[in-house]
Amino acid sequence: MTAQPTKHGQGGLVTRFAPSPTGQLHEGHAVSAIRAHDLARRGGGRFLLRIEDIDATRSRPEHVATILDDLAWLGLTWEGPVYQSARLALYTAALDRLRAMGLVYPCFCTRADIAASLSAPHGAPGATYPGTCRSLPRHERAARMGEPHGWRLDIVAATARAGAGLTWHDAVAGTVVADPATQGDVIVARKDAPASYHLAVTVDDAAQGVTDIVRGVDLFEATHIHRLLQALLALSTPRYHHHPLIHDAAGKRLAKRTGAPTLAARREAGENGLALAERLRAAIA
């Protein structure tokens, strides 16, 4: 039987903002936070803050403090925060369920291994994971379990298990038919963490009762995987609101890795956060 999106009543609207404390927020983050906050407030619902600090090697407590200060500077109020690092047992339980269904397999590949496979004559730039470890003989897999490894979702087996006709609703795109196969065998647990972004965010949104997810359109494709995981784990499916990304004056997307001006720097320079929030609301209306 094909799992379908769960219907949510308007009275129980719940949104969230879920930044990673691996750097400071910029205007792009502010847009997502404001959109999620205002959607909840207009609907008489709840706006949650979740700190996605599952990456222990890059997350920093000082960034958490800055995130809280930035959101308050913008005039936002929230419930929480909840920290992913305190929820690891939930991700382990979800991975165990997928493992029990035979839908995941251990992956011993390094990034260099994968890059080499994709650059070989049979590969192609931008191709998905080639399935190297999926085809390992059982005895070889068992012998290597002491090595560092992650876990990948067998996308063919998982899609067959979930059944055809999975859909999700996007505020702009309307009803979208999930096509997770385009993403390949994604990682659901990393070598250095009990869950990947895909698994953790899906489990957390369901556990927290999130009904409406507001995030940038750069995560639109990831939703195909999240919808599949929801079906496999019998979790509810929120409504999605993927908004356009914002760019600087040169047309370059604002991002941490490109050195976008941070909210903290603007706050410390004396800029009015409430005025900035109103300008962003006007720009995205």
Please identify every residue annotated as catalytic: 256
> Pick from 259, 229, 222: which is nearest to 104 by CA?
229
Phi then psi for 102, rounded to 5 degrees? 75, 30
Strand, helix or coil for residue 126: coil
Give the integer Cα–Cα distance in Å for 141 and 99.
Answer: 14
Q: Return the structure tokens found at 248.
A: 């600087």
Cβ neighbours of residue 129 closer than 8 Å, sequence gap 6 or more: 107, 109, 114, 152, 184, 185, 186
At 147, the amino acid letter reads E
Contact status, residue 173 vs residue 240, Cβ threshold 8 Å: no
Contact status, residue 69 vs residue 267, Cβ threshold 8 Å: yes
